[in-house]
Structure 1
Amino acid sequence: MTAIRTLWALLGLVCLIGLAPAAKAAVEEPQIYYQPETATTSFAQLLASASSSWEQIPQGEAVSFGYTPQAYWFKVEVAASRSDRILYLGYPLLDSVDIYFVQNGAIIDQLLVGDNLPFAQRPILNKNFVIPMASRAEQTIYLRVRTESSLRFPLEIWQPAEFMQAQQYQVAATGLYFGLLLCMVVYNFFNYLVTREFSFLNYSAYTLSIGLLMAGLDGTGYQYLWPNWIWLQDRIVTMIGSVVFIFASLVTAGVLQTAQRSPRLHRGLQLFIGIYSVTFVLSIFLPYATLIPYVLGLAVTSCIYLLATGISLWTRGLTYARIYTLALGSLLFAITINALGYLGLFESVFVQRYAIMAASALEVLLLSWVLALRFNESRVEQLALKEKLNTQLESMVAQRTEELEQVMGRLQLANKELEQKSNEDGLTGLYNRRFLNQEFKREFGRAKRTGRDLTLMMLDIDHFKPLNDSFGHLCGDQVLVELARLLVSQLQRATDTVYRYGGEEFVILLPDTDEHGAREIAVKIGQAVRDHVFKTDQGEMKITISIGVAIAKPDMYKEPTQLLAAADDALYRAKNSGRDIVKVTTQIHEPEQANSR
């Protein structure tokens, strides 16, 4: 939408410029004579000089001598009129203009104007030179003109009312042009603030520099922006012209992405940035007349290079390089016309001045469009890249999650195995005393809640120490391992569990087992051990065990340690009663003095 609105504004600008010549019907274009100034030329000699010493400029054509250090005298014969008139010099970059109004061989008025004088000294405040005629009578006007810029200007005589009417179109067109540039400067600067994309900032600075350059060329800048700064007015074209091409190179590099797409072309742009940076510094110190031919030639060269850059990337398939090339082509055409005009090879000041305004406006519009397209394409690419990266990230996260789950699974398995190992007896593979303490408390609490019996059976190998002393600890360990397997094989329920309590002692926990059942299991185990042949490295052997059984009736024991002590006491009594027997207790254990087993 911004591009469309700007296009309509540009069309309005062109229409206003096109209407301007229609109001020139009342203009008077007098015959102009000229001769170059010499060191001995005096004004009295000019007044007395013969007509043959003056050269004639073709009727209706503007003065156009190009860049020359030579000062020129001009003579204009003006017929009498019944109304006031003004003399109009339509070129703002004339350094010094001495004007003499002569009537009957005598000077009736004299004025000095030029852009090397403060703007406020002009008789009429206009960006060009507008001088009221001294008299309505027949008179001759002599003008001495010297300038470091191109010596070229249209000389016209107007009636004030018609001049104001004609000027309003040019003022409107000029205002619309600079308003358009200002809008583009602000718009792209805000784009930079929002996006932090430096291409918008460079483009905003580029548009601003074009506006300042055109204000300097058009005289609007000296009228409104720096009316008392003569030094800047003398150097504005070379200084700001250098800045324009610095930012034009930066915009080109950003829009066409030359650093990535063509490093060779990018180095050329960097070279031009360096050259114009030097030119900018030189314009501060060197006279305008010395530097301007170089700046104009460099401007045409730069435009050709920028145009070649656009065409090169266009042929490589960069779509918006076509719009860029069209924009730069229009500006190059206008700059070429302007350069030819400054060099005195093109006579139409009107076409020269407004062609570059229209072309620069068109270029600003199209480059803004290109910048928007490039930014949009970059945003689409970034979104696609972001989506791709998100997909890759999701894949990586899924992969890492799967790997983590596998690691966690292995870790859980290892923890489970570690916990299993920590709960097992290393020799027999039975649960150890540590795990018994946990499970015993849990089963004791469950028995109290449910009101069911809980049996704890503690057994010990008879005469195990002599066996170890006679046959060695390896043989004793083999007996312990074989006994553990035998005890497990004698239990029928999954809830019945065998624990190695320590040394040659074992504990069997029997949930939901009453006294009768406990006796049967204990007798059965004792008989199985008695009948079993234990195979060891020292040969076959038999052993016996003593068993102490304690049954916890509902509300009989308050603490699990009391039941454990009762079973231990029953085992103690079995040992003292001759061993290889079973002792069962259903009474609360009363502590006695400990005796050796």
Structure 2
Amino acid sequence: MAKSLVRWFALVTVMCYWGLAATDVSAQENMPPVYYHVDATGNQSVEQLLDKEPSFWSVLNNGSPSFGYTSATYWFHFKLPAVDYDRVIRIGYPLLDNVDVYFVTDNEIIKRVRLGDAYEFDQRPVDNRNFVVPVASRDRVEVFLRVNTTSSMRVPLSVWQPTDLMGAEQALTTATGMYFGLLLCMIVYNLFSYSVTRDRRFGYYSAYIVGIGLLLAGLDGTGYRYLWPWSEWLQSKAIPLFGSVVFLFASLVASQVLQTKLRSPKLHMGLQGIMIAAVVLFLASIFLPYEWMISIVLPVAILASCYLIFTGLTLWRQGLAYARIYSLALSVLLLAIIINAIGYLGFLESFFIQRYMIMIGSAIEIMLLSLVLAIRFNEDRKERLAAEQRLNSRLEVKVKQRTKELEALMRKLKEMNQRLEVKSSEDRLTKLFNRGVLDDDLPLEVRRARRTGYDIAVVMIDIDHFKKVNDKFGHPVGDEVLVELARLLRVNFRRAGDRIYRYGGEEFVILMPGAQELGCHDKVLTVTDVIRGHTFHTERGAVNITVSVGMALLNSLPGHASSKQLLEAADNALYQAKNAGRDQIRIARSVKDVSEKP
């Protein structure tokens, strides 16, 4: 069992640091200077701030401002330069109540986006546990953010390209899934232990792990995204509610594992006081506002954490062997909680701890406390060995059964991770392959084409005037059109080897290995006729569209064209078709220049 715990410990450590590395990628764009203004009354509007002199604003010294708990409204302002690609703004703190984002050009508001965990999760423009807002324009644009929250005023800002942000968060999402998978395994393990031994320590410890999982899910936005996206109320109450649960069962586990009732009645009375306080805070959190409760819960959390650590250290000095492991295990997590609570109060910056150290600390603590429970149980088992021979033989059988069940659970977890990998290669809306898969597939097909001598065609399709469809009917209708167009492409490109990708927005790419120019052109022409004549039935009525197409064939390009050049040639041909009036097909004859198919 100890070897198994060591393996789990190594896995969790690697997992968490993998998540850390994933978020610290160079793909994040340089953040322009950010300025802020404190609106004590909360009555100022963005129109009143447009023409303010620079001296009106205060300079933000870093991209992760933390102002502690405050009832004031904060405005943030920065300018984004013109670029030729899409961008998104990420606010990397998921507990803000109200965030209004204004995009301004020439002192005119071109777009307003409303965010915050005071609204249902599905109202967010981007499905992300943090707040992600697409930048309204590729041109130079000013951004104003109005933030009002009952949680800590922390607004870490960053600007990304969408694909870079997706890649940066993929590893962290996987690591987070593995972390919660570990918690699930430990819950099941301890519940099995409780069912076999009827030892209450395993039951309390299972409840403690559940509380840790829910608290972490509430802190990093995972809970609001997956567990309670429909409940703004629970999201607003998650931290004090689940924090109270954690300290209730942490005290129960400490009293049972360390036997404080027998070894130190005074310490035991202190643990009972923490339990009573946790129950009172839990009930109060249901009825009282968050801003009241958090100002009470954070100091109580600091004091309770210090007392639990003190309890372990005291019994360690008294010679209790497993109190050393208990103190080490609890200190890692509770020290992270203490520092994090101080950070929430605005006395220090602790984004690293808030995002990662509590997760790492809880994983380490769960492993080590599991070891403490195992040691404690083994000691009790040895003391009862003579009187429980028959019970131990039955227990051995049940342990084997439990091991098989855990192995089955691990296989299921592995299958789930494999399905997650498949999902990561799939466009969420259209269920086609995404751009990342195209970036992997195209170089392989180009190398294969050079070896075999066969040709390969890249067909890039773009919906004409798709912005008008979104503006007229709304983005949900635009999504319906994209889904139906993806279905038409799947139906019509069914040749063996053909693969369809959503390249981005309303652009699609079809990879056709072994295609010949004449046959490929005829096929694409037939598909454009089908799309032109197809009526897209949506919730807002019928919609008709046309598409522009750019094609590039490897053997038709001069020289030794690379996969990147092949894709660029198709893209150039697509833009030639759009510039020529749309609803047309163009074939690239060179890497830079294209000509119409005769």
- Where does residue 52 of structure 2 map in the other structure? 49
Q: CA 1:42–1:18 in structure 2 vs 1: closer, same or farther (change >3 Å)?
A: closer
- Indicate if the aligned counterparts of 2:100 and 2:146 stay in contact, CA closer than 8 A: yes
Residue 230 of structure 2, aligned match among 228, 231, 238: 228
Superposed CA deviations along residues 28-83 of structure 1, whole A, max 9, x for unmatched, are 3221111111445232210121111000101x431211111111111111111111
- Where does residue 150 of structure 1 map in the other structure? 152
SS in 2 for 1:126: coil
Alignment of 1:271-290 (within 5 A): 271-290=273-292
Q: CA deviation at 1:276?
A: 0.8
- Indicate if the aligned counterparts of 1:153 and 1:349 stay in contact, CA closer than 8 A: no
Alignment of 1:87-126 (within 5 A): 87-126=89-128
Q: CA 1:256–1:348 in structure 2 vs 1: closer, same or farther (change >3 Å)?
A: closer
- Indicate if the aligned counterparts of 1:30 and 1:157 stay in contact, CA closer than 8 A: no
Residue 80 of structure 2, aligned match among 78, 81, 91: 78
SS in 1 for 2:146: strand
Structure 2 distance, partners of 1:383, 1:198, is: 19
- Indicate if the aligned counterparts of 1:338 and 1:353 stay in contact, CA closer than 8 A: no
- Indicate if the aligned counterparts of 1:202 and 1:247 stay in contact, CA closer than 8 A: yes
Structure 1 distance, partners of 2:69, 2:358, is: 19
SS in 1 for 2:147: strand
TM-score when normalising by structure 2: 0.63
- Indicate if the aligned counterparts of 1:61 and 1:347 stay in contact, CA closer than 8 A: no
Establish whether residue 201 from structure 1 lines up as the match of residue 195 from structure 2.
Answer: no
- Where does residue 297 of structure 2 map in the other structure? 295
SS in 2 for 1:347: coil
- Where does residue 527 of structure 1 map in the other structure? none
- Where does residue 329 of structure 2 map in the other structure? 327
- Indicate if the aligned counterparts of 2:28 and 2:159 stay in contact, CA closer than 8 A: no
- Indicate if the aligned counterparts of 1:118 and 1:230 stay in contact, CA closer than 8 A: yes
Alignment of 1:321-470 (within 5 A): 321-383=323-385
SS in 2 for 1:30: coil
Which range is displaced more, 303-312 or 13-22? Answer: 13-22
Alignment of 1:526-545 (within 5 A): none
Establish whether residue 252 from structure 1 lines up as the match of residue 243 from structure 2.
Answer: no
Superposed CA deviations along residues 339-385 of structure 1, whole A, max 9, x for unmatched, are 12211222242343201111111111111110111011111112257
- Indicate if the aligned counterparts of 1:127 and 1:222 stay in contact, CA closer than 8 A: yes
Establish whether residue 136 from structure 1 lines up as the match of residue 138 from structure 2.
Answer: yes
Equivalent residue letter for 2:173: V
Structure 2 distance, partners of 1:151, 1:213, is: 19
Percent of pairs identical after alignment? 51
Q: CA deviation at 1:308?
A: 1.1
Equivalent residue letter for 2:245: V
- Indicate if the aligned counterparts of 1:68 and 1:148 stay in contact, CA closer than 8 A: yes
5+ long unaligned stretches in structure 2:
390-598
- Where does residue 159 of structure 1 map in the other structure? 161
Residue 313 of structure 1, aligned match among 306, 312, 315: 315
SS in 1 for 2:136: coil
SS in 1 for 2:110: strand
Structure 2 distance, partners of 1:334, 1:348, is: 10
Equivalent residue letter for 2:141: Q
- Where does residue 404 of structure 1 map in the other structure? none
Structure 2 distance, partners of 1:37, 1:248, is: 41
Equivalent residue letter for 2:375: L
Q: CA deviation at 1:242?
A: 0.4
Structure 1 distance, partners of 2:189, 2:371, is: 12
Alignment of 1:525-564 (within 5 A): none
* Count of residues in Structure 1 that have an aligned counterpart in Structure 2: 386
Q: Higher Cα Rg: structure 1 or 2?
A: 1
SS in 1 for 2:321: coil
SS in 2 for 1:75: strand
RMSD of Structure 2 on Structure 1 (CA): 1.5
- Where does residue 474 of structure 1 map in the other structure? none
Structure 2 distance, partners of 1:26, 1:42, is: 30
Q: CA deviation at 1:223?
A: 0.2
Q: CA deviation at 1:182?
A: 1.0
Structure 2 distance, partners of 1:124, 1:282, is: 34
- Indicate if the aligned counterparts of 1:16 and 1:172 stay in contact, CA closer than 8 A: no
5+ long unaligned stretches in structure 1:
388-597
Q: CA deviation at 1:8?
A: 2.2
- Where does residue 213 of structure 1 map in the other structure? 215
Equivalent residue letter for 2:51: A
Structure 1 distance, partners of 2:327, 2:213, is: 21
Superposed CA deviations along residues 498-541 of structure 1, whole A, max 9, x for unmatched, are xxxxxxxxxxxxxxxxxxxxxxxxxxxxxxxxxxxxxxxxxxxx
Equivalent residue letter for 1:185: I
Q: CA 1:198–1:30 in structure 2 vs 1: closer, same or farther (change >3 Å)?
A: same
TM-score when normalising by structure 1: 0.63
Equivalent residue letter for 2:228: W
